[in-house]
Amino acid sequence: MTRVLRLLIFLWAMLATSVAGAQSPEVQQAAHTVRLTSPLGRTGETAEVRIVAQVQRPVRTTPAPTPIKVRFYVDNALVGTVEAAPYAVPWVDENPFEPREIRVEAEDAAGVIARDAVTLPAFEITEQTEVGRVLVEAGVYDAQGRAATRLDPKSFRLREDGELQPLDVVARETYAMNVVLLVDNSQSMQRRMAEVRRAAERFALSLDKGDSVTIAPFHTELRTITGPTNDVTTISEAIAAMNASGGTAILDAVYRAVDLLDGMKGRRIIVLVTDGFDENSTLKIEQVIERAQSNRIAVYALAIGGITGVSLNGESTLRAITSRTGGRVFFPWKDGELAAIAHDVAEDAHNRYLMTYTPSNQKKDGTWRAITVEVPEGYKVQAREGYRAPSPPPIRPTIEFHVTNAEQEYVALAATDFVVVENGVQQKVESFHEALDPVSIVLTLDASGSMVKAADTVRETAREFVRAVRKEDKLAMVTFADEVRVEHELSADRALSMTAIDKYVAKGGTALYDGLWDSLLQLKKENGRRAIVLLTDGRDENNPGTAPGSAHTFDEVLTLTREVGATVFAVGLGPKLDGAVLERLAALSGGQAYFSANVTELSATFARIVENLRQRYVVSYSSTNSDRNGEWRTVEIRLREPGLVVTATEGYFAPAE
User: pLDDT tens, 450-499?
Assistant: 999 999 999 999 999 999 999 999 999 999 999 999 999 999 999 999 99
Same domain, yes or no: 319 and 370 = no
CA torsion, ordered 48, 318, 134, 350, to nearest 10 deg: 80
- DSSP character for 531? E
Same domain, yes or no: 112 and 198 = no
Identify the helix (H) or strand (E) that includes residue 233: helix 232-240
Q: Is 10 within the bounds of a domain?
A: no
> CA-CA distances (angstroms) from residue 323 to 157, 234, 320, 600?
19, 30, 5, 81
Last residue of a domain, which of 120, 145, 163? 120
Q: Is the pLDDT of residue 413 over 90?
A: no
> What pLDDT does 362 receive?
87
Q: Is the pLDDT of residue 248 over 50?
A: yes
> What pLDDT does 95 receive?
75
Instruction: Compute CA 216 distance to the chain's CA centroid, rounded to the nearest angstrom.
Output: 24
Coil/strand/helix, residue 391:
coil
pLDDT digits (tens, 9 = 90+) for 365-385: 888 899 999 999 999 998 888
What's the domain range around 520?
439-615
Considering only residues 570 and 312, tell me which one the structure prediction assigns the higher pLDDT: 570
- End-to-end Cα spacing for the chain: 103
Q: b or e along 298-319 (b: 16 or more beta carbons within 10 Å of the residue's beta carbon)?
A: bbbbbbbbeeeebeeebbebbe
**CATH for 111:** 2.60.40.10
> What pLDDT does 309 receive?
61
Identify the helix (H) or strand (E) that includes residue 484: strand 484-491
> Would you mind telling me the total number of residues written for the chain in this entry?
657
Same domain, yes or no: 420 and 537 = no
pLDDT digits (tens, 9 = 90+) for 4-49: 444 444 444 443 334 333 433 333 444 789 999 888 887 766 778 8
Same domain, yes or no: 405 and 387 = no
Same domain, yes or no: 357 and 344 = no
Q: List Cβ neighbours of 111 (8 Å cut-off, separation of 6 or more).
A: none
> What pLDDT does 31 receive?
75
> What pLDDT does 63 receive?
58
Contact 408, 612 (CB under 8 A): no
Q: Is 580 within the bounds of a domain?
A: yes
User: Which residue type is seen at 347?
Assistant: E
pLDDT digits (tens, 9 = 90+) for 618-646: 999 999 998 888 999 999 999 999 999 99
Q: Nearest 5 degrees, angle CA 275-CA 278-CA 284?
A: 130
Summarize the confidence of residues 91-103 as an average pLDDT: 85
Contact 277, 314 (CB under 8 A): yes
Contact 378, 143 (CB under 8 A): yes
Q: Is 635 within the bounds of a domain?
A: yes
- DSSP character for 562? H
| 296 CB neighbour count, 10 Å cutoff | 18
Instruction: Compute CA 639 distance to the chain's CA centroid, rounded to the nearest angstrom.
Output: 33
> What pLDDT does 64 receive?
59
- Range name among 21-35, 85-99, 325-339, 474-488 with the lowest pLDDT average: 21-35
Beta bridge partner(s), residue 649? 589
Q: List Cβ neighbours of 435 (8 Å cut-off, separation of 6 or more).
A: 400, 529, 613, 616, 617, 618
Contact 72, 39 (CB under 8 A): no
Same domain, yes or no: 332 and 459 = no
pLDDT digits (tens, 9 = 90+) for 159-211: 999 999 999 888 886 667 889 999 998 888 888 888 888 888 888 888 888 88
Contact 508, 535 (CB under 8 A): no
> CA-CA distances (angstroms) from residue 418 to 31, 83, 334, 567, 591?
71, 61, 64, 21, 19
What would the DSSP string read from start to end of 65-134? PPPEEEEEEETTEEEEEE-SSSEEEEEEE--TTS-EEEEEEEEETT--EEEEEEEEPPP----------E
Identify the helix (H) or strand (E) that includes residue 354: strand 352-357
Q: Is 429 within the bounds of a domain?
A: yes
Going by their DSSP bridges, the two strands 298-303 and 329-330 should be labelled as parallel
| 465 CB neighbour count, 10 Å cutoff | 23
> CA-CA distances (angstroms) from residue 58 to 31, 52, 67, 212, 596?
6, 20, 14, 27, 97
What's the CA gap between 642 and 639, in Å, rounded? 7
Q: Is 142 within the bounds of a domain?
A: yes
For the chain, the C-alpha Rg in angstroms (whole number) is: 38
> What pLDDT does 499 receive?
96
Contact 442, 532 (CB under 8 A): yes
What's the CA gap between 604 and 434, in Å, rounded? 24
- Range name among 71-85, 128-142, 452-466, 634-648 with the lowest pLDDT average: 128-142
Same domain, yes or no: 587 and 551 = yes
Same domain, yes or no: 235 and 160 = no
Q: Nearest 5°: phi and psi at 599?
A: -70, -20
Contact 543, 452 (CB under 8 A): no
What's the CA gap between 7 and 3, in Å, rounded? 6
What's the CA gap between 218 and 236, in Å, rounded? 16
Count the domains in the chain: 5
Same domain, yes or no: 326 and 269 = yes
Average pLDDT score over the chain:
86
Read off the pTM. Answer: 0.56
Q: Is the pLDDT of residue 352 over 70?
A: yes
User: Does the CA dihedral 189-195-197-199 come out positive or negative?
Assistant: negative
Same domain, yes or no: 377 and 307 = no
Beta bridge partner(s), residue 510? 541
Identify the helix (H) or strand (E) that includes residue 517: helix 512-524
> What pLDDT does 128 receive?
44
Beta bridge partner(s), residue 401? 617, 648
Q: Is 195 within the bounds of a domain?
A: yes
Range list of H helices, 377-445: none
> What pLDDT does 16 receive?
39
Same domain, yes or no: 496 and 610 = yes
| 362 CB neighbour count, 10 Å cutoff | 10
**CATH for 153:** 2.60.40
Contact 506, 452 (CB under 8 A): yes
> CA-CA distances (angstroms) from residue 606 to 467, 474, 593, 596, 651?
11, 17, 11, 11, 26
Q: Is 3 within the bounds of a domain?
A: no
**CATH for 311:** 3.40.50.410
Same domain, yes or no: 529 and 471 = yes
Q: Is 22 within the bounds of a domain?
A: no
Q: Is the pLDDT of residue 420 over 80?
A: yes
> What pLDDT does 308 receive?
54
Contact 440, 529 (CB under 8 A): yes
Q: Shortest CA distance to 137 belongs to which of 466, 373, 450?
A: 373
Coil/strand/helix, residue 604:
helix
